């Protein structure tokens, strides 16, 4: 039994109507730890345990850290998560609720990550949030489920942070004979590291992240994401924080599910009837989820951008 669940794949009338094209949703927000991350993290944790790991270490205060904490609890392997002081109270609570050891260190993720790496002993496994082939293999199970369904999408829309989800979805498309299905990769302004690298034709590191979509805040995407762009049709789109926030609010009203702005970015393409969707007849939106969002936070951010 894997640590993730097979999620519902449903048609969305509200998104189809907004986008003026048939829209389908893969509801990763319903994973127990709140996002698709448990697919790859769960598979990687199981593999590292098989190889003898006695502890899992993470430096993510977001959905990746939560997935590691959940996987560790399910596999009865202790978990240590090092997060920076900027980590929200909500994220800290959720990590503690999963029984992880929480170490708060440093001003930014960089310092927290350095401490996490320095803590690694012989029997520890470090779980990277997006750059690990085991992770991509696990994320690919999402497309295995789509391939077993009656839906044959002609485009897939997903959000990109460090590119782990992108690599997993494309691996899943190729291993299911769907290598011809294009992917529309969405980021927010201020976190568009994939967009920058794609246009430069090489990996570009952003100087800083200035988007509220923190789960998309990787300054640099993984090398594999750029490699895939040379072998697979990927279109890159960038939306504003405000568009992502409005999409979160509308999605809550339409489907009764609260997601993070990182996921709202993907949904914004439908709600804003993006030209990138023109001509497609069955578009699959990956509702990647997000466990640390609260409606109060989303509304406060929206009010700041009114
Ligand atoms: C991690 C995450 C992303 C970005 O995924 P990457 O694999 O880093 O590209 C997007 N949305 C949510 C909710 C996430 O947790």
pLDDT digits (tens, 9 = 90+) for 123-153: 999 999 999 999 999 999 999 999 999 999 9
Report the percentage of the chain scoring pLDDT > 70. 100
The C-alpha R_g of the chain, in whole angstroms, comes to 18
Residue 62: phi and psi, rounded to 5, are -110, -145
Asked if residue 167 has its Cβ within 6 Å of ligand 1, the reply is: no
Q: What residues contact 146, with CB distance under 8 A and at least 6 apart?
A: 9, 26, 153, 172, 176, 284
Confidence class for position 278, pLDDT limits 50, 70, 90: very high
pLDDT one-digit tens code per residue, 43-80: 999 999 999 999 999 999 899 999 999 999 999 999 99
Over residues 215-222, mean pLDDT = 94
- Let me know how long the chain is: 306
pLDDT at 263 > cutoff 90: yes
Residue 231: phi and psi, rounded to 5, are -120, -5
Asked if residue 284 has its Cβ within 6 Å of ligand 1, the reply is: no
Over residues 255-266, mean pLDDT = 98
> What pLDDT does 52 receive?
97
> What pLDDT does 108 receive?
85
Asked if residue 161 has its Cβ within 6 Å of ligand 1, the reply is: yes
- 165 C-alpha to ligand 1 centroid (Å): 6
Specify the ligand 1 atom closest to the Cα of 28: 13
Over residues 77-99, mean pLDDT = 95
All domains of the chain in start order, with CATH: 9-36+134-304 (3.40.50.1100), 38-130 (3.40.50.1100)
Torsion of CA 8, 9, 11, 15, to 10 degrees: 90
Asked if residue 65 has its Cβ within 6 Å of ligand 1, the reply is: no
pLDDT at 110 > cutoff 90: no
pLDDT at 306 > cutoff 90: no
Query: What stretches of 63-160 adopt beta strand conformation (E)?
Result: 79-83, 101-104, 124-126, 155-159
Side by side, which strands form the sheet with 55-58? 101-104, 79-83, 55-58, 124-126
- Going by CA atoms, what residue is nearest to atom 15 of ligand 1? 63
pLDDT at 109 > cutoff 90: no
- Of 242, 292, 233, 296, the residue nearest 265 (C-alpha): 242
> What pLDDT does 142 receive?
98
> Across all residues in the chain, what is the average pLDDT?
97
CA distance linking residue 251 with residue 272, whole number of Å: 13
- 130 C-alpha to ligand 1 centroid (Å): 8
């Amino acid at each position: 039994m894997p640590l993730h669940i097979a999620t519902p794949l449903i048609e969305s009338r509200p998104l189809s109507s907004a986008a003026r094209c048939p829209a389908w949703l893969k509801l990763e927000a319903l994973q127990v730890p709140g996002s698709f991350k448990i697919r790859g993290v769960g598979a990687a944790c199981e593999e590292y345990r098989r190889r003898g790991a006695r502890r899992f270490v993470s430096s993510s205060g977001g959905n990746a850290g939560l997935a590691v904490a959940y996987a560790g609890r399910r596999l009865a392997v202790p978990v240590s998560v090092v997060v920076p002081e900027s980590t929200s109270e909500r994220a800290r609570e959720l990590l503690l609720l999963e029984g992880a050891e929480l170490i708060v260190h440093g001003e930014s993720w960089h310092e927290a990550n350095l401490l996490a790496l320095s803590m690694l002993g012989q029997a520890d496994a470090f779980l990277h949030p997006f750059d690990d082939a085991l992770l991509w293999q696990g994320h690919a199970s999402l497309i295995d489920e789509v391939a077993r369904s009656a839906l044959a999408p002609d485009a897939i829309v997903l959000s990109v942070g460090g590119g782990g989800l992108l690599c997993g979805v494309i691996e899943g498309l190729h291993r299911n004979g769907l290598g011809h299905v294009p992917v529309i990769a969405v980021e927010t302004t201020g976190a568009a590291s994939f967009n920058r690298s794609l246009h430069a034709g090489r990996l570009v590191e952003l100087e800083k992240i200035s988007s509220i979509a923190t789960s998309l805040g990787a300054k640099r995407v993984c090398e594999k994401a750029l490699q895939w762009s040379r072998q697979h049709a990927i279109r890159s789109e960038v939306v504003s924080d405000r568009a992502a926030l409005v999409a979160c609010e509308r999605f809550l009203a339409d489907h009764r599910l609260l997601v993070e702005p990182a996921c709202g970015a993907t949904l914004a393409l439908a709600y804003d009837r993006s030209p990138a969707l023109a001509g497609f007849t069955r578009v699959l939106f990956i509702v990647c989820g997000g466990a640390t969002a609260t409606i109060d936070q989303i509304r406060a951010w929206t009010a700041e951008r009114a």
